[in-house]
Chains A and B, each alone.
Chain A
Amino acid sequence: MSKRTFVGLCFAPLAVLAAAFFLLPMARLVLIGASGEQGFHAYTAILFDPRYRATLFNTVALAAATTIASLVIATISGLFLQRNRFPGHALLVAMLTFPLAFPGVVVGFMIILLAGRQGLLGDLTLHLFGRREVFAYSLQGLFLGYLYFSIPRVILTIMAAVEKLDPSLEEAARALGAGPWRVVRDVILPALAPAFIASGAIAFATAMGAFGTAFTLATDVAVLPMLIYTEFTLSANIALAAALSVGLGLVTWAILALARSYGGTGVAAAG
């Protein structure tokens, strides 16, 4: 057997698996998306139908808020942890990255334990203000869930980027008389910009497609993955569910392609 034939054979299992369980089903999904009463217009319904537009708006707003909040938190903590060594440092890093392997459903349960009917925050507010606050199933609860999911991932990226910063640039800025805030603003933050874009895009795309957390919290907040799920299972509106999921897939793929062009790994995690 020639080398060329062997290399060709190496692709064979992949070709079978990918064609049967990915390419063919995805092609069918795209076609079925256009098979409803509206035809290919199903693909634009998300933008023009007011019911769906509100859901799209919620989803994008929630994903954007999650992204910004996790970037701010991860930058403060990531810079701190990478620049300072103290007793308990390793423990703190371990605690911040521990939830990496939690699926979205488990994250949802964590939020229920924090802010649900028997939640810790409810106990706390009952004790302090005489009123039990329960917000696990609201927009704020969903936001906390997405934040819980994305903080560990973003922190890891930011810490890796901080490690690669060139300390001589900061020393130069200090030698020229810049105060600590100016060093942060004019030297450190601009140098971290690619990491912000890469990890931010991943956080955003993950939040857009997150299903497990929203499912567990069973919120009344309509987000796109839940809309797809209910259209498919409850309304049996299969064409629309297919069109919506193709649209969602295109959006998250485009955002991750952007992340990759900035050096991110382009790997979203299943939420």
Chain B
Amino acid sequence: MTMRDRLIFALQLLFTILVAAFLIVPAVLSMLAGITVNYFRGIQSGLTLQWVVQVWQLYSDTIFRSFLIALATLGVTLVVGIPAAYALHLRSDRFSRAIEEIITLPLAIPGLALALALLLTYGGFSDFRRSWLFILAGHAIFTLPFMVRSVMAVFGAIDVKTLDEGAASLGATPWRRFRDVIVPNAMPGILAGSLMVVTLSLGEFNLTWMLHTPLTKTLPVGLADSYASMRLEVASAYTLVFFLMIIPLLVAMQMFARQRAGAASL
């Protein structure tokens, strides 16, 4: 390397480190603040789990509810998304492209608009409005396209039609072919889609803030609450709990993507 190349390298490296610091430093600060006795006095004031305990006492219901909604959302997107992806792949005509366009729309529309639409339509059905199922409806619509696309991507890579016809020639009914041939072959896409759906549902705020009631708060809703009304240490401890929930999912997703990329390059 010439002197000049080395200088360019050093400057780019410095720049990239600064950008990474901008993203990581606040996250690390929040994790530290969540276990510091007094954030204002700094880490010298000592480490404690009292804020985490307090978060658990105040907000544990939001954590359970978020998991409940995320798993229910996963259930709905599996039941709706896998058959839909299969049918969309088999047809692949103008009709199926129109359907695909419609189910991807919720991604392009701000969550606020979808939430308003749901409120204006179902706000009067007070039992439904007050239950966590109302939030589930929003989450299912919002995450469904991720499941459908993820499964369709696998169908695009394997020869579904030949598999299907092969099983059919052996006399399997459409339902048995779907259950015993199509679904097992789509497993990588189903797993990737599931991770995505659960991660998105756990962190969803825009829709949920509009749809929740005081009795159906989720974790991100509780987070917004604590940011507005709690001391910084409690808000940070709560964020720490959220990180602990979301990081394993993120790591799993990245490992999965790498594995698939590796398989594809073979």
Contacts and interface: CB of A to CB of B under 8 A. Distances in A.
A113 B232 CA distance: 9
A9 to B, nearest CB: 8
Contacts of A205: 108
Main DSSP-derived SS at the B contact region: helix
A80 B19 CA distance: 13
- Say which size band chain B's interface belongs to: 35 or more
A246 B114 CA distance: 9
Interface stretch (A10-18, A39-47, A169-177, A190-198): A10-18
Contacts of A212: 205-206, 209, 220, 224
A141 interface: no
Interface in A238-261: 238, 241-242, 245-246, 248-249, 252-253, 256-257
Interface string B120-161: 111000000000000001101110110000000000000000
A131 interface: no
Contacts of A152: 23
Given A17-B80, A109-B235, A118-B39, A101 B203 contact: yes
A100 interface: yes
B107 interface: yes
B84 A101 contact: no
Nearest to A93: B20
A50 interface: no
B99 A92 contact: no
Given A17-B80, A17-B140, A18-B103, A25 B112 contact: no
Interface in B216-266: 220, 223-224, 227-228, 232, 235-236, 239, 242, 246, 249-250
Nearest to A247: B113
B239 A21 contact: no
A6 B26 contact: no
A45 to B, nearest CB: 16
